[in-house]
Amino acid sequence: MRARLEEDAARAGAGTVLCRNCRFCTTVCPVGVRIPDVMTMINLSVAAGSDDVRSGDLLRRAYEARTAGGPASACVGCHACDGRCPQGIPIIWQMARATLLFER
Ligand code: SF4
Ligand code: SF4
């Protein structure tokens, strides 16, 4: 499970995500993952740098608040969001990335 998550997260890359908060993806997700909020938190994490422990704690708390009810780990991998993003973001991989970043 963890290996699969790491594999998918690696596919997502390490840079910021060009999410425009259009919310097209949210209309198709069957489990209500708060996809644009997850993307925002990934971008904040990239901006903060990953080696600052204090900002890491703050980001985790902000992530929990912002994605309450629909964290990235709720993604069931159904692929319903595939091809839905006008920015071409591979959403499912970014959910794996965020799960490792903020929830493990
Ligand atoms: S793959 Fe994950 S994020 Fe995409 S629609 Fe399915 S559950 Fe939602
Ligand atoms: S469809 Fe793409 S750009 Fe729009 S909110 Fe979802 S991830 Fe962001």
Q: What is the pLDDT of residues 55-65, one digit of tens each?
A: 678 999 999 99
pLDDT of residue 53: 61
What does the pLDDT look like over 11-52, one tens digit per residue? 999 999 999 999 999 999 999 999 999 999 999 999 988 656
* pTM reported for the whole predicted model: 0.94
End-to-end CA distance of the chain: 12
For 43, list phi and psi in degrees, rounded to 5.
-65, -40
Q: Report the CATH fold assignment for 2-103.
A: Fumarate Reductase Iron-sulfur Protein; Chain B, domain 2 (1.10.1060)
Q: What distance in Å separates the CA atoms of residue 56 and residue 62, rounded to the nearest whole number?
A: 10
Question: Is the minimum distance from the CB of 72 to ligand 1 under 6 angstroms?
Answer: no
Q: Is the CB of 82 under 6 A from ligand 2?
A: no
Protein residue with its CA nearest to atom 2 in ligand 2: 85
